[in-house]
Structure 1
Amino acid sequence: MIGLIAATAAGQRGCERLAAAWPDRTRVYDGPVREAVTAAFAECEQLVCFLATGAAVRLVAPLLADKASDPGVVCVDEAHRYAVALLGGHGGGANDLAAAVSDILGTAPVVTTATDAVGASGLDTLGLPVEGAIAAVSRAMLDGEPVAMRADAVWPLPALPANVGEAGEAEIRVTDLVVPAGERTAVLRPASLVVGVGGSRGVAAEEVLGLVREALEGAGLSARSVAALATVEAKADEAGIVAAAERLNVPLLTYAAGTLAGIEVPNPSAAPLAAVGTPSVAEAAALAAAGQGGELVVQKRKSAMATAAVARRRPRGRLAVVGLGPGARDLLTPRAREELRRAAVVVGLDQYVDQIRDLLRPGTRILESGLGAEEERARSAVAEARAGYAVALIGSGDAGVYAMASPALAEASADIDVVGVPGVTAALAAAAILGAPLGHDHVSISLSDLHTPWEVIERRVRAAAESDLVVTFYNPRSRGRDWQLPKALAILGEHRTPQTPVGVVHAASRPDERSEVTTLAALDVTTVDMVTVVTVGNTATREVAGRMVTPRGYRWQT
């Protein structure tokens, strides 16, 4: 919940605007400001205070407890010019909140967190719990000092600055092992461990937790890397096991007895087989939760009423297939921006990389290539993800429409995580410029016969013509392919009048954008190239005030 506090009428208006934008996320605190701030600080995860920063500091200072638990605080000035991330920039989310407030109020976000100010990744923003000498290592990163990166395995982390490498007195460890505390060592804890547990009816949570701690400590493993507890379905409602997962703040995963019985383990037993139908609960559940490539690192341990075993997950790389939209920066979606910032490796066509290079974090590795290397880029992106990295494979428009998603997913197997990030397609961008040509059923057809035989393309064009669909042509014409568009238009002309509206949009949303609405008879195909989209209306499409309009029904409404 976000607490909203104001001391003046202008501040109250700001509160009202935020409350209207986020009705389910905000609570407006009325009354004396000191009491309002105190109440909101105790009850909310974040605060937006329409106060001077000095006043906010004096009110908040006595309430501070711990960086990890204090809420994020943003201050907005009386004139609504600035949204200042005052407290909890990373841990409390104040930096992101300042940007979100600015999107609504039109303020300028003010962020003074050092890593954010230079666009670098902070150790506490990498998505993993971090401990140790965070401040000292962060300073070394910011100062450009060599910082060693020592990881037990490759995890899909965001990019780190170029001075983070193989050597340096300051170091970042990525490990689930307990390591000696160093004055210049920060430790990132990957979610690499799963603990399989079993228990007799009525086992206490304290006994389960004690055995889990014993298993971890005996192997020198950190509890902060435990991602889940796992057990057999028959124990899904066992109060002690459920409570143990809650106290560890991890999910409880359950598996059918038949599934666990099929997993080979080093220490099967007749007792669980008789009780719940599987010769192993703890070891088998740990391996089941660890997934493909997982390994048992702590064999079954017993207490009076519980069993526990620990398995280690194999890291899974992450492939985000990102659509950049038609080219204009304001048509790049917020989700696409987030994925670009999250990636350690970006793969794409060189001209598309140029569009977003400034959005990438320092240290991002870029694999770029020229036209005609789509399959190579897809293979490279999948290979990087298989190696454990966080990868963004970029394409224009929507990556799933005549773009990189299909070749990439044809290469990708189940050993990596894949995320699709939609983008504004060329057809949609062109349609918005032309008016409303896609108001009813429509189809997109690529006229490039480099990958599809012309006979197939022609059959699809003819089917679209016969079924009276609005047609958007991608890849309509190039220097070496100048006859396909006239042929396709002729096929459509067999079923539509010469006056049928046709929209032509070159370089939609880019600086050299140009467009026109013409007719099937008057279209000059020599004005069309590979960055042009041609949209041909159906028999109901009309030109209205210079715009293409296809009615939502086939009865034209006057």
Structure 2
Amino acid sequence: MKWAVISVTEKAVKKAMEVAKKIDCDIYTLPKYSVEGTIQLRDGFRKGVVKIFSEYKTLLFIMASGIVVRTIAPLIKSKDLDPGVLVMDEEGNFVTSLLSGHLGGANSACQRIADVIGAIPVISTASDVSGSTAVDTIAMSIKGKMDSLENAKHVTSLIVGGEKVNLKLPDNVTLSEENSAGVIVLSNRKKVKISQIIPQNIVVGIGCRRGTSKESIIEAVEKAMDKANLHVDSIRKFATVDLKGDEAGLLEAVKYYGRELTVIPREKIVPIEDNFEGSDFVKKSIGVKSVSAPCAILASESKGKFITEKMRHDGITLSIYEEEIRRDG
């Protein structure tokens, strides 16, 4: 994803152009310093930053940190929503990770820009300084979602403080360093702080009758996830057959969960339909024997297994496919 590089002096624009040779980015500057390849901040610096702040994953400001802090302060929401913000001086001597170091990726971006520009990276988050790993860093590396930022903060503080914190892994999680068959947790603590990371690795395949309501589909999804003891936040996407791609109730239910709907063409289902429980009646009606299970596996992007191959509820069929989790790096 493109970075936004913001510069408000002639010298800073030249440095931004150097950055653009190494990193895919949009360069913003004031009209009087605009050159070919830059985007003008026609409404001024502050209003321009307000406009683009949430449009980029990473923002690099080439200017004094004070003006950046005062400008972005009213825009800051939370560490799981804010973009990564970096500040670099005009000479390119130092680049500082200013905001959202872990979840926003500012720390890794800081190291990256330092490497390509030859600057000194300045990263001040406690876990990085101490050489330890924060909970949100683990969450980001497996593209997971934390149940509570507050819990994550408490557990990270234990790690930074030198306390031993156990990492419990389900058997479908593989680390690049080792493949653990089990974990034993031994503690004499009366209270143990726990931070849950919810991997978004569930694909839900859905088939339904024409005209099925949003409420019915949500009820079926909740029932299926509860029965499988799965958190709804672990759903990465939904999938259905092309005939149901415009089904209003299904589209509304997917929107309710804030996920995407992958539509699978029937011709892709036919070669694998015999691998799943199917119906000759459904085959005559829509051209394939089964919908939810093949759609779920075809929409997946990694190896995995079915938690629920088919569950029926009020004219709705659901299949829950769990993708294997691999930690990056």
**Is 1:28–2:28 an aligned residue pair?**
yes
Q: Does 1:308 align with 2:318?
A: yes
Task: Decide which of 113, 127, 135 is 2:142's aligned counterpart.
Answer: 127
1:273 lines up with 2:283 in the alignment: yes
Cα distance change on mapping 1:241 and 1:283 into 2, 3 Å:
same
Amino acid at match of 2:311: K
Matched AA of 1:201: R
Task: Name stretches of at least 5 consecutive residues in structure 1 with no aligned partner.
Answer: 172-181, 319-338, 343-558
Residue 101 (structure 1) aligned to one of 108, 113, 118: 113
Instruction: Quote the Cα distance in structure 2 between the aligned partners of 1:152 and 1:11.
Output: 49
Cα distance change on mapping 1:43 and 1:190 into 2, 3 Å: closer
What is the CA distance between 1:197 and its match in structure 2?
0.6
User: Which residue of 113, 119, 122 corresponds with 1:110?
Assistant: 122
Paired with 2:160 and 2:246, the residues of 1 have a C-alpha distance of 49
Residue in 1 that maps onto 2:12: 11
Cα distance in 1 for partners of 2:51, 2:87 equals: 17
Deviation at 1:57, TM superposition (A): 1.5
* Distance in structure 1 (CA, Å) of the matches to 2:77 and 2:281: 49
The alpha-carbon deviation at position 83 of structure 1 amounts to 0.3
TM-score (norm 2): 0.75
Compared with structure 1, are the counterparts of its residues 257 and 5 closer, same or farther at alpha carbon in structure 2 (3 Å cutoff)? closer
Find the aligned partners of 1:294 and 1:124 in 2 and give their Cα distance.
22
Instruction: Sort the Cα spacing of 1:200 and 1:63 in 2 relative to 1 into closer, same or farther, 3 A.
Output: same
Deviation at 1:257, TM superposition (A): 4.5
Cα deviation per residue 1:248-301 (whole Å; 9 max; x = unaligned)? 434626364434541243xx5554233224443234544666787723437413
1:180-203 per-position Cα deviation (integer Å, ceiling 9, x unaligned): xx9711222234433221023354
What secondary structure sits across from 2:174 in the alignment?
A: coil
Equivalent in the alignment of 2:37: none
Q: Deviations over 1:29-82 (max 9, x none)?
A: 425432333233143322111222222212211111121121111011243210
Residue in structure 2 matching 1:297, options 308, 312, 319: 308
Q: 1:39 to 1:253 in 2, by over 3 A?
A: closer
Whichever structure has more helix as a proportion of its residues is 2
Tell me, in whole angstroms, the C-alpha distance in 1 between the residues paired with 2:67 and 2:208: 55
Partner Cα distance (1:201, 1:103) in 2: 56
- Contact kept? 1:170, 1:184, Cα under 8 Å: no
Q: How do 1:182-331 and structure 2 match up within 5 A?
A: 184-203=193-212, 207-236=216-245, 238=247, 241=250, 248-250=258-260, 252=262, 254=264, 256-259=268-271, 261-265=273-277, 268-269=278-279, 271-283=281-293, 285-286=295-296, 294-297=305-308, 299-303=310-314, 306-313=316-323, 315=324
Q: Deviations over 1:505-537 (max 9, x none)?
A: xxxxxxxxxxxxxxxxxxxxxxxxxxxxxxxxx
After superposition, the Cα gap between the structure-2 partners of 1:113 and 1:269, relative to the gap in structure 1 and judged at 3 Å, is: same
2-side partners of 1:87 and 1:27: how far apart? 20
Q: Secondary structure at the match of 1:69?
A: coil
Cα distance in structure 1, aligned partners of 2:87 and 2:298: 48
8 Å CA contact 2:269–2:295 kept in 1: the answer is no
Q: Quick check: 2:224–2:318 contact (8 Å CA) kept in 1?
A: yes
> Hey, what does 1:59 align to over in structure 2?
71
CA distance in 2, matches of 1:89, 1:185: 22
The alpha carbon displacement at 1:104 in A equals 3.9
The 1-side partners of 2:88 and 2:298 are apart by 50
Contact kept? 2:222, 2:232, Cα under 8 Å: yes
Question: Which residue of structure 1 aligns with residue 99 of structure 2?
Answer: 87
Cα deviation, residue 9, structure 1: 3.1
User: Could you tell me how far apart the structure 2 residues matched to 1:183 and 1:230 are?
Assistant: 39
Q: How many Å separate the matches in 1 of 2:275 and 2:311? A: 14
Structure showing greater relative contact order (alpha-carbon pairs closer than 8 Å, 6 or more residues apart): 2
List alignment gaps of at least 5 residues for structure 2.
31-40
Q: For the residues of structure 1 that align with 2:232 and 2:271, how far apart are their CA atoms?
A: 27
Deviation string, structure 1 residues 166-223 (Cα, Å, up to 9, x no partner):
335599xxxxxxxxxx971122223443322102335455543443233213433112
Aligned residue in 1 for 2:174: 156
CA contact (8 A) 2:306 2:319 kept: no
Show CA shifts across 1:443-465 (max 9, x none): xxxxxxxxxxxxxxxxxxxxxxx
Please report how far the alpha carbon of residue 233 of structure 1 lies from its aligned counterpart in structure 2 after TM superposition: 5.0
How many percent identity over aligned positions? 25
CA distance in 1, matches of 2:166, 2:317: 39
Q: Secondary structure at the match of 1:151?
A: coil
Q: Name the larger-Rg structure.
A: 1
Distance 1:21 1:294, change over 3 A: closer
Q: What is the CA distance between 1:135 and its match in structure 2? A: 1.2
RMSD: 3.5
Counterpart residue number, 1:508: none
TM-score, normalised with respect to structure 1: 0.47
Give, in whole Å, the separation in 2 of the partners of 1:208 and 1:52. 52
